[in-house]
Structure 1
């Protein structure tokens, strides 16, 4: 996996708030997670989704939270300390070293955008899923350039930022649309794709959303500044983008694509 370019002092808080803002339980239930299952949260981060998964599967099921970051795993273990059906392992999603055919349900959210070769990650998730089990990948589709009115210079700027992240760290903010094709090529059956909002901001963004974007912009400074010609030019772009997010007369939205399929 590429180095995690979003790491910062505020990243744990941003990840937790982002997870809380999404209807994660509904997405899990809608894609097949059920009581009694053995489940994997591949790329669990600070563990909020792992805890929701544990609640769904109940005491008769089990959930493994997997992440490559020892810091995130420590946070996840603390958050899930009262859930006996949870355990955590440190590993790359492309090489988990977990047993083959071990899980009924495998979930991975906001991980594949960081994989330079996402087919490798999907192959590993398939390996650890039992025949008849389900693999689910939820990820972004777009850099944050949807809405109206949306000044063209800001649209070009956010696309420039996405291109810089891809060139420097392999981050692909359009990976969501690519997963259906990858699922097909990997031989999964009963593939379904769900389109859901990552966020919809009709009017001024709230404090959480503003902080989320400010944290992203700050973390990406080392990658973005050269693409914009200078740190000052990038910071000016970020300031103007945040001002647009806070504009009460604009609509801003982003898309989450959830792809699920069954292992043959």
Structure 2
């Protein structure tokens, strides 16, 4: 686990990064990449949308072009204060301070879930994705943007020491384990030579979908089922 996958370390990190975040972020995740990803979601103007790890509101700003029912959640009050200055606390966006792994919302309460630049700090990303599946309505979609695993061995070692980096295979496994279906991945890059982002879009299953998560496969396998004396 990378040093910034510890929640206390991440909060401390963003206490200082929040001061320059909006100037640094475009070199890795810029407006063009955000807007390209937004088009994939087909957000309806009446959709209730949750932005998990909303930070300073960079993605939130884009989401507001599609719906006026936007909700932002983040664990860093320092990042959120930047967002408050842009949107107010309860005006254009409803903000909540909270944890992606324990979302403070009822089941099936959102039409769309978006999360960019946040998964890399989650100690248990599958737990958070299970929460996404719980609070998004069945049949609806979620989108998650995270850092693509680098090709260079040296950068891989550095990446692993800092936070979560993952490739398409790992993304597929995480989303399948969380029970999502119709999973697709897109790799994006701001400029040649800059870190790549991996954008995953997936759909929460309905009663008509067959979902085989690893846990379900284990239960359905008689050889793996627990026995009693």
State the distance in 1 between where 2:135 and 2:50 align: 9
Compute the displacement of 1:41 (Å): 0.4
DSSP-derived class of the 2:44 partner:
coil
Alignment of 1:43-192 (within 5 A): 43-57=53-67, 61-81=68-88, 84-143=91-150, 145=152, 156=154, 158-165=155-162, 171-174=163-166, 177-192=169-184
Which structure has the highest strand share of the two? Answer: 1
Q: Summarize deviations over 1:114-143 as a string: whole Å, max 9, x none.
A: 122210010111111011211111111124
State the distance in 1 between where 2:145 and 2:55 align: 14
| Structure 2, gaps ≥5 residues long | 206-229
Aligned residue number for residue 150 of structure 1: none
DSSP-derived class of the 2:16 partner:
coil
State the distance in 1 between where 2:42 and 2:144 align: 13
Aligned residue number for residue 196 of structure 2: 255
Compute the displacement of 1:70 (Å): 1.3
DSSP-derived class of the 2:35 partner:
helix
| C-alpha spacing 1:7/1:86, structure 2 compared with 1 (3 Å) | closer
State the distance in 2 between where 1:176 and 1:18 align: 23
TM-score (norm 2): 0.75
Aligned-residue RMSD, C-alpha: 2.5
The 4+ residue runs of structure 1 with deviation greater than 4 A are none
Compute the displacement of 1:45 (Å): 0.4
Deviates more, 1:252-261 or 1:44-53: 252-261
Q: Is the CA contact 2:107–2:134 (under 8 Å) kept in the aligned structure 1?
A: yes
Q: Summarize deviations over 1:127-179 as a string: whole Å, max 9, x none.
A: 1101121111111112484xxxxxxxxx63x34422332xxxxx212266522
State the distance in 1 between where 2:24 and 2:151 align: 18
| C-alpha spacing 1:12/1:177, structure 2 compared with 1 (3 Å) | farther
Of the three residues 185, 195, 201, the one matched with 2:187 is: 195
Compute the displacement of 1:10 (Å): 4.2
Aligned pair 1:21/2:45, yes or no? no
TM-score (norm 1): 0.66
Which structure has the highest helix share of the two? Answer: 1
State the distance in 1 between where 2:96 and 2:151 align: 32
| C-alpha spacing 1:196/1:163, structure 2 compared with 1 (3 Å) | closer
State the distance in 2 between where 1:25 and 1:163 align: 29
